[in-house]
Amino acid sequence: MRRIANEERHVPFVWRLSAGFAMAACLAFLVHGALTVHAHRQHVAELRVERQKLAAELQEVKKIANEAEPMLVLEHDDGTRVIMDLDSLPQRSGVQPASYTFD
């Protein structure tokens, strides 16, 4: 009777080895998946921080642009420039801004 019970419990070595290999493969797959998810979340967090920095910088630039005063820049042939504040010009001074041309 005891001999029959031992024979029923006997599992071939190949099956035990393949079960261990399958468990190791599943464990490696799960670890790889967890590392991939972690790397993706870290990348998304870095992108979120960069986006917040860019948004803050954009707000600063918009603030500076709204506070800027209109100016007129005239350039002579010799490369010297004259910068005039349009708000400080008298209304009837005879100086009118020229059309802007881009060369």
The answer to which of 9-13, 18-22, 40-44, 87-91 has the lowest mean pLDDT is 87-91
| CA dist., res. 24 & res. 103, Å (int) | 69
pTM: 0.51
User: What's the whole-number mean pLDDT along residues 61-81?
Assistant: 82
| CA dist., res. 89 & res. 83, Å (int) | 12
Confidence class for position 7, pLDDT limits 50, 70, 90? low
The pLDDT, as a whole number, for residue 76 is 81
Confidence class for position 39, pLDDT limits 50, 70, 90? very high
Q: Are 95 and 89 in contact (CB under 8 A)?
A: yes
φ, ψ of residue 10 in degrees (nearest 5)? -70, 115
